[in-house]
Structure 1
Amino acid sequence: MSDASASNAVGAAHSIAALDSDDEVLSGEAVAIEVQPVGLFFRTLGALIDAVLSWAVFLGYIAVRYWMLGAFGDHALDGILSVLALVTAFVIVPCTIETLTHGRSLGKLAVGGRIVRIDGGAAGFRHALIRSLIGVFETYLTFGAVAFLTAAFTARSQRLGDLVAGTYSQKVRTPRLAARVLMMPQGLESWAAIADVARMPDRLARRISQYLDSSPQLLPAARARIAHELLTEASAYISPLPAAPPEAVLVAATVLRRERERRALALADARVQRLSGVDVGV
């Protein structure tokens, strides 16, 4: 395995072992929701696409300006159109697009991003206006240097306009993961008949599922270490704890929890159907 692959595997391992608080927002029910910001490279690519669009609008206004000067010969109109072209191309157009599309733009559509508030809510006109006004300075007057340096040293690749407006670019297009069907490991069927995993927190169960989905891509040492750490944390909610390899225990607990939740939902559906039938009969 190459050094790059090893580095990616270790990075994935760390992301599974502990969820970074910078990549979470709290919902109205105080539930932590994991989100993923757009990386620096894709933010830069999206900004370049948006900049090309703004420059195209500006050049279009320049063409209209020269046509009007040639048609009317009013040089007093030249200054008005110049200011109007700058404001429209670099402030009004980006602000309007982000407001109407709720944080999207041509560049963000291309890279799969969307501007949202820090708390995960939808960005509005005020946020788009602040980003557009500051964007004139950090993106165009400094040739993107301020925006790039600010994004490079912030956890969510936020540029200066994002920091002032309280926004960041959230990734809304994620690659599809191949479905992996987990089966009860051999030798643990009798344990599953008497085991209790109902007290396991949903957050821990989600981390275990994430590990099991990505474990084939991890380095063997990292895979074994994370499995041991997760089992150590989950052992307080697994009773009795079977004598099996850590990853096998995690698979068994996940399968058992999934089957019992599915059975509970099926019983609830059957009860609703039975009660509905009685009501209809009456």
Structure 2
Amino acid sequence: MSPEPDLVTGDAVALELRLARLASRGLAFAIDAVIQLVILVVGLIVVVAAGPDDGAARAAILLTLLVLVRVGYPVLFETLSRGRTPGKSAFGLRVVRDDGGPIRFRHALARGLAAAIVDFGPVFVWGAVAVVCSLVSEKSKRVGDFLAGTVVVLERAPAEVTPNIVMPPPLVSWAAQLDLSGLTDDLALALRQFLARYQSLRPEARDSLGANLAQEVAARIGAPVPPGVPVWAYLMAVLAERRNRTWPGAS
């Protein structure tokens, strides 16, 4: 039995992703909180030094700044980096949907609003709600995660599971014609992690996740899985071709 609760895809297939626990999430939050606090202090200094003399206008500006930093900071980073803030990046954490897929703006917004209003409060001192919720949740979720349908996972993979990427000989000519400009680093990382764990995944999870990845890759590069080609070979060929173009002679 897996030591971690499984994530379940929309097709009810269990994915064995490593969930981030309270300690690592707390440290990541601390880094983000320090960055946000610095931004607020700098903003306060600027408003006091160069802002309007009217007290009400100054208060309105500071309130707007507080909202932008408390809500806008996590929403901006998690949307643009598909689930990561500077703090999460430092500890190899990422926010994903309950089905293991990447989050979108609406997920980040729900998490950001819940963090500011419920989980941590507007002044960084009401974190007890987030802590208690994470402790009683099997998947270490805070209120924002429940509202957004997300979990935080530990995605930093050990070096020893790095797969050996080899171009399948029958796909050499096919891969040479691919337009890989739409293949992002994050998606390539997901492919490598999938191939590294291919043999250890449950057959049903392997098939479902492989099909989902192949569908996303096909949408990005405009080339579906060729007839008769296994999904793993298709993904391997795409990764190998990307590597060969990025680092010629590395194969």
TM-score, normalising length from structure 1? 0.53
The residue aligned with 1:206 is 200
Unaligned runs of 5+ in 2: 163-196, 203-232, 234-251
Deviation at 1:149, TM superposition (A): 1.0
> What is the rounded CA distance, in whole Å, between the counterparts of 1:48 and 1:92 in structure 2?
17
Equivalent in the alignment of 1:133 = 113
Taking the aligned partners of 1:23 and 1:31, their CA distance within structure 2 comes to 9
Deviation, structure 1 residue 164: 1.1
Per the alignment, residue 162 of structure 1 pairs with: 145
Measure the CA separation in 2 of the matches of 1:38 and 1:121. 16
1:106, distance to aligned residue in structure 2 (A): 0.6
Give the 3 Å change call, closer, same or farther, for CA 85–145 of structure 1 in structure 2.
Answer: same
What is the root-mean-square deviation in Å for CA atoms of aligned residues?
Answer: 2.7
Q: Which residue of 2 aligns with 1:48?
A: 30
Distance verdict in 2 for CA 1:113–1:21, change over 3 Å: closer
Q: Which letter maps to 2:19?
A: P
* Structure 1 residue 79 displacement after superposition: 2.0
Whether the aligned pair in 1 keeps the contact of 2:20 and 2:140 (CA below 8 Å) is yes
Larger Rg: 1
Map 1:1-282; keep pairs closer than 5 Å: 18-19=1-2, 22-26=5-9, 32-69=14-51, 72-137=52-117, 138-141=119-122, 142-177=125-160, 206=200
CA contact under 8 A between 2:7 and 2:98: conserved in structure 1? no
Matched AA of 2:126? F
Q: Deviations over 1:221-274 (max 9, x none)?
A: xxxxxxxxxxxxxxxxxxxxxxxxxxxxxxxxxxxxxxxxxxxx9xxxxxxxxx
Give distance in 2, aligned partners of 1:145 and 1:175.
32
SS of the aligned residue for 2:121 comes to helix
Q: Over residues 34-89 of structure 1, what are the superposed CA-to-partner deviations in whole Å (9 max), with x where a residue is unaligned?
A: 111111110111111111111111112111110124xx523342122121111111
- Runs (4+) of structure 1 exceeding 6 A deviation are none
Q: Distance in 2 between matches of 1:85 and 1:21?
A: 39
> Identity percentage over the alignment?
34
Deviations 1:72-122 (A, max 9, x none): 523342122121111111011211111111101111101111001101111
Uncovered stretches (5+) of structure 1, i.e. residues with no partner: 1-17, 180-202, 209-264, 266-282
Deviates more, 1:138-147 or 1:170-179: 170-179
Say whether the 8 Å CA contact 1:104–1:113 is kept in structure 2. yes
Count of matched residue pairs: 165
In structure 2, relative to structure 1, the CA distance for the partners of 1:21 and 1:94 (3 Å cut) is closer
Residues 9 and 98, structure 2, Cα contact 8 Å, conserved in 1: no
Distance in 2, Cα, partners of 1:64 & 1:87 = 17
Secondary structure of the equivalent of 1:136?
helix
Greater helix proportion? 1
Task: Check the 8 A contact 1:25/1:35 in 2, yes or no.
Answer: no
The answer as to whether partners of 2:28 and 2:88 remain within 8 angstroms in 1 is: yes
